[in-house]
Chain A
Amino acid sequence: MKKGLLITAFGLLINSGFAAEFMEFGAKDFLQEDYKTSNWLFEMGYSSLPYEVVMPVYDGSYDKVKAKEDLSLSGLNLGFGGQIYFGAGFSSTIKIVGTHYRAFEDVTAKAAEDIDLDLVKLDFTHEVTTAEASGSLDYLIETSYFGVQPFVAFAVGVGESKTERDYDYDGLSGGDNPNPEIYDVTSKEKFNYNKITLGLNFISKIGITSFFSVSQYSMVKTDREIKGKFTTQAQQTPQRVDSESEDLNEDSSMTVASVGFGYLF
């Protein structure tokens, strides 16, 4: 959330101060009357995504994995398209958007504050990449200083998710859990989605925009591949957990919030 606010503030700052020098490509002569013309659009934003991760269940001494777990990712999206002006403040924006989300966790567990013995290492990385085409219906409200443009957008897209969890416990001779443990699993998923978005653009007189939006995703996971192995205290021989599911058809939905800024030229 803090990052979102930071991005918004950052966008507004650019709107107000540094617009003339911002991204030295494209036309610099966007005028207020260009509100009511068709323009190209470049935009960059920040999104927060809750994603349901599916992994093999694990009950280790110092790491537990549930079969399904909602994890939060944040990502950068880049979009490019065109805004077609119909008249009377109405326009439509057609664009393609690519987004890369990432979350990570890097935990080192030492025996105790007074014993510098590394016992557990956990590396967790989750990445989601999406690409979509969207079209929106926009309505422009002009003020003396900038344009305010509420919009509703529809999009279809495809995406991939990759989750890697690497847990390594060295074991502790004489302790409650003497044997080493590992959980080294990678899960990959492919999915299709469609979404509806409600949002608001703020357009400065020089074509810099900032926006925030909320999107409701309807997602169908089509493919899942899991590879890896684990050991536990009781089972020291690594157990493989390889599986591949095509035509998965798993439905899920999620809500994504985005903020960002863009450039009309």
Chain B
Amino acid sequence: MKTTAMILCMVPVLFSCGKTEEIYLFEKGSKNHSASAAVMAEKCKSENKKLADNLDETSSFSNLFTNGQNERIFKLQRSRAYSEAASLTDIKDDKAAINFNQYIRIVKPSVEGDDMIVQFSSSGNPSNWGKEQETKTFFYSQADNKDLQNEIINGVCNGSEKSYSGSIGASKTQLKFTDIRTTTKKVDDKDQIQKQVKEQYILDSGYPLFFYRYNGSTERIDRVNSSAVTKVNYTAPKITEITTATERSKCENNAEGYEGCNAVLIDLSVQSCDYELTKSHALIEDPDTYLTYFTNCTGN
């Protein structure tokens, strides 16, 4: 009986005749390809309107300061790991990491619509870690905030091959997005990575949007020469806010656990930088470019 049942069950499988397939219509670079990307982007934005509405809230800076706050200071605890090896496959990720803190102070503009003052500092040995970790002060406008929001959402919704890939949290207040930029060179007919940056950031409506740059993890690979590769990882931070007088006092005094914090409270004229945005950054492959960066820093 089992044999009979088995044979009868095989019959529909044997006699199904047809095909199911998925095809692609347009070549890259064609008019239709561009139109499809635009439609995809609009669809993506439309589907994610709730997130955009929440992020819009941050462009009115007064929304970021409540209960009479004039400033907010954030402490970011993270670690940095540096590795070097003869080849990428030889690099071990379990190298000892250095824990350090970053501090971000945002100052409420006295008049709604004016720029927000942002101060940044790091503990540890930032001077050897590149400009990104150096103490700095910059002015950040509501337009900067809106432009950044548009740039990131456009990047995620771009739909073309090189873009940010993103996912939205259930609360629609966060956008987690990833960007990978790579340069390669043909070596023995194989693509060898020369530089690669992998960035995973979180755009969060609870902070001014430039904060994304400090709210995530990064990994950078550089081929120094044919027999040396370096890799630097920054982990995603644990973010806390300095809210009590005691904590602020520790910050002022660079107390244990708050090393480097005092720098965000110093004279604004020191190490003042211009904040810049790279347009259409999501489409750029160059690992040496960044969505946001700083120029014209004084006192460095």
Contact = CB atoms under 8 A, between A and B. Distances in A.
Contacts of A109: 22-25
B227 interface: no
Interface residues on A, range: 35 or more
Contacts of B4: 22-24
**Interface of A, helix, strand, loop or mixed by DSSP:** strand
Interface string A42-69: 0010100000000000000010000000
A112 B27 contact: yes
B15 A62 contact: no
Interface stretch (B29-37, B141-149, B178-186, B188-196): B29-37
Contacts of A6: 14
B167 to A, nearest CB: 14
B246 interface: no
Nearest to A21: B3
Interface residues of B, number: 34
Contacts of B34: 174
Given A74-B15, A105-B18, A116-B159, A18 B3 contact: yes
B222 to A, nearest CB: 28
Contact of A112 (B7, B14, B20, B26): B26
Chain A CB within 10 A, most for which of B16, B17, B27, B28: B17
B19 A173 contact: no
Interface in B247-263: none
A58 B163 CA distance: 38
Nearest to A7: B14
Interface in A150-178: 172-177
Interface in A64-92: 72-76
A176 to B, nearest CB: 6
Interface stretch (B38-46, B65-73, B90-98, B228-236): B38-46
Contacts of A73: 17
A174 B3 contact: no
B267 interface: no
B22 A24 contact: no
A177 B159 CA distance: 20
A60 to B, nearest CB: 13
B161 A114 contact: yes
Nearest to B161: A114
A117 interface: yes
A3 B161 CA distance: 40
Given A46-B15, A172-B32, A176-B32, A22 B3 contact: yes
B21 interface: yes
Contacts of B14: 3, 6-7, 46, 76
Contacts of B7: 22-23
B18 A114 contact: no
Given A24-B4, A109-B24, A174 B40 contact: no
A214 B25 CA distance: 41
B187 interface: no
B111 interface: no
A102 B11 CA distance: 13
A108 to B, nearest CB: 5
B160 interface: yes
Interface string A112-155: 11111101100000000000000000000000000000000000
A110 B23 contact: yes
B31 A110 contact: no
B1 interface: yes
A115 B34 CA distance: 10
A120 B22 CA distance: 10
A106 interface: yes
B33 A111 contact: yes
Contact of A110 (B3, B25, B38): B25
Given A18-B3, A110-B24, A110-B25, A115 B37 contact: yes
A116 B21 CA distance: 15
8 contacts: A62-B25, A73-B17, A106-B19, A107-B23, A109-B22, A110-B25, A112-B25, A172-B35
Interface of A: 3, 6-7, 18, 21-24, 44, 46, 62, 72-76, 102-117, 119-120, 172-177
Given A107-B19, A107-B22, 16 more contacts: A23-B4, A23-B7, A24-B1, A102-B18, A105-B18, A107-B21, A110-B25, A111-B36, A111-B37, A114-B160, A114-B161, A117-B40, A117-B159, A120-B25, A174-B34, A174-B38
